[in-house]
Amino acid sequence: MSTSAASLTQLCPAPGSRVVVVGGCGSIGRAVVAALCSVNCDVAVLDLAPSLKKYPPPTGAFGLSVDATSEPSVSASFADVAKRWGAIDSLVNLCGYKHDLKPIEAFSTADWDDGIAGNLRSAFLVSRAAVPLLKKAGGGTIVHVSSAMGTQGREGYGPYAAAKGAINALAKTMARENAPAIRVNIVAPGLVDTAFIRGGTGRSHEDQTPQVDVESYQQAIPMKRVALAEDIVGPILFLAGPASRYMTGQILYINGGSFMP
């Protein structure tokens, strides 16, 4: 990536940047993909096959089916990316989902393991697969979408909060291991009005009643509303682009002021 002063005016990845978006069919993922395509990036959208069928990638992007908890599936998807591009400039990881809200003692071991796999194992697998392709490009960026719950916790979100906290540690470890060529940062949203609060795109019915009392929740937010998917796009693109060139291992909290560490 360029280190010239002029690059600081580029607040998102440069045109022609090769960006892999894992979980690109979710509400935030679709908004990120659309924004990347609008600035003429080349985008690979990796997601579950049902999600890709329901939300086909827009012009300027292509889709690849992946189960991000499966090592063979992740390896095959990134091998396809390598065949098309040879290298990549950025990875954006939005993969994750939650279970029904309940206290820790009510989780079965199977549900706990599933939650850790869907959020943490997936982050490890896609990060590991991306690093060699980023190195082939001479360096690049990884942006993990975590959650404020990974820092502060919240009742009922046991495996999800635990996994997101671990993703923060994973990203910081990778930031140290791969500097200066590869920067690794985190965007940690608060509650976002997406299918996620109903269970998660591709894994549940998106028209289900939210498990969160959104009205009560937003009254406790200084900005007096929950986030929209579009509110998360700018920080992700900033961390993926050259204007954040001196940032690595950092967490950007995007929550309307509900959590101020």
Domains of the chain plus CATH, in order, are 5-254 (3.40.50.720)
pLDDT for residue 31 is more than 50: yes
**Report for 93-102, 208-217, 246-255: range of highest mean pLDDT:** 246-255
Q: Which residue has the higher pLDDT, 188 or 209?
A: 188
pLDDT for residue 144 is more than 50: yes
Residues pairing with 93 in the sheet: 22, 144
Average pLDDT of span 158-170: 93
pTM value is 0.90
Q: Which residue has the higher pLDDT, 212 or 186?
A: 186
Nearest to 254 by CA among 195, 186, 198: 186
pLDDT for residue 203 is more than 80: no
Task: Report in angstroms the alpha-carbon separations of 54 from 26, 166, 191, 210.
Answer: 10, 31, 24, 21
C-alpha–C-alpha distance, residues 82 and 165, integer Å: 30
**Report for 145-154, 212-221, 251-260: range of highest mean pLDDT:** 251-260
**Residue 124: CA atoms inside 13 Å, Cβ hemisphere, count?**
12
Provide DSSP, 73-98.
HHHHHHHHHHHHHSS-SEEEE-----
pLDDT at residue 11, as a whole number:
86
* Segment holding 112, helix H or strand E: helix 109-116
The 10s digit of each residue's pLDDT in 33-76 is 999 999 999 999 999 999 999 999 999 999 999 999 999 999 99
pLDDT at residue 180, as a whole number:
98
Mean pLDDT of the chain, nearest integer? 89
